Structure 1
Amino acid sequence: MSDWYFDRFGQAAFVVADGDRFVSKNGRNLGWLYQDNQVFSLTGQPLGWLDKGVLRDRSGSVVAFSRSGSASLSSIPGTSGAPGSPSIPGRPAKPGFAGSVSDPGKGGWGSKTIREFFGTDV
């Protein structure tokens, strides 16, 4: 199991399970990690970029971070304690990935919630 990722309010939100999918703290599949850093929705739409523990949307705004990735951020919220391991759901069928995502560069904190970013219930 990988590190917990925290939202802009410091609340634990998700983990990366099996090295290629995002799973919420409530045990829901959220999206896919493709080619180590490209982030896609469950249906294969490009969403953003994961680099060194920081999740960014396509415009470069920070959506979430892991404790190991927080060093690269200029400001981080205090974090809640990491919850126990989530119940890992079965793997959904992998979609075809629509296009690719390139590194959007670095921006500040965005306003998207985890739910808005992934486009699904968390």
Structure 2
Amino acid sequence: MNEWYFDRYGQASFIVVENERFVSKYGRNLGWIHQSKQVFSLTGQPLGWLEKGVLRDRKGGIIAFARAASSWLPSIPGMSGEPAAPSIPGPPARPGFAGTIVDPGSGSWASVSIRDFFGADL
């Protein structure tokens, strides 16, 4: 099942496909999920942590959340509707993952955008 994630303004931004990778609402691969919680870029660089429907950066700042998030959020914005599912591209070659990421704990909203977090066009 593919699940939509929303930014701090409540806008649907990307989906998690098969609990394995992130795909933008425009159908672009953005990153990977490794060992069910660690988040990596398409090139294998460590980015953050995904748990209980909340995506955090390495400092604990919240990047995005799922509608059914069960982890603490500092505030919940009014949320847009979910757009039609994008055309899901095939997965890119899976990179080697550089190191491991530990749970950064909870923080407030991150100061970086989703685009900056993934380092890719949405």
TM-score, normalised to structure 1, is 0.96
Task: Report deviation, 1:24.
Answer: 0.4
2:82 corresponds to which residue? 82
Whose helix fraction is larger, Structure 1's or Structure 2's?
1
Q: Secondary structure at the match of 1:49?
A: strand
2:93 corresponds to which residue? 93
TM-score, normalised to structure 2, is 0.96
Q: Which runs of 5+ in 2 are unaligned?
A: none
When residues 71 and 57 of structure 1 are mapped into structure 2, their CA distance, relative to the original with a 3 A threshold, is: closer
1:69 corresponds to which residue? 69
2:26 corresponds to which residue? 26
Q: CA RMSD in A?
A: 1.0
Higher alpha-carbon deviation: 21-30 or 65-74: 65-74
Q: Which runs of 5+ in 1 are unaligned?
A: none
Provide, for residues 10-69 of structure 1, a one-character-per-residue CA deviation record: whole Å limited to 9, x for no partner.
Answer: 100011112200000000000000000000000000000001000000000000000111
2:17 corresponds to which residue? 17
CA distance in 1, matches of 2:11, 2:40: 22
CA distance in 2, matches of 1:96, 1:35: 13
Paired residues in the alignment total 122
Give the fraction of aligned pairs with identical amino acids, expressed as a percent: 66
Task: Report deviation, 1:71.
Answer: 5.7
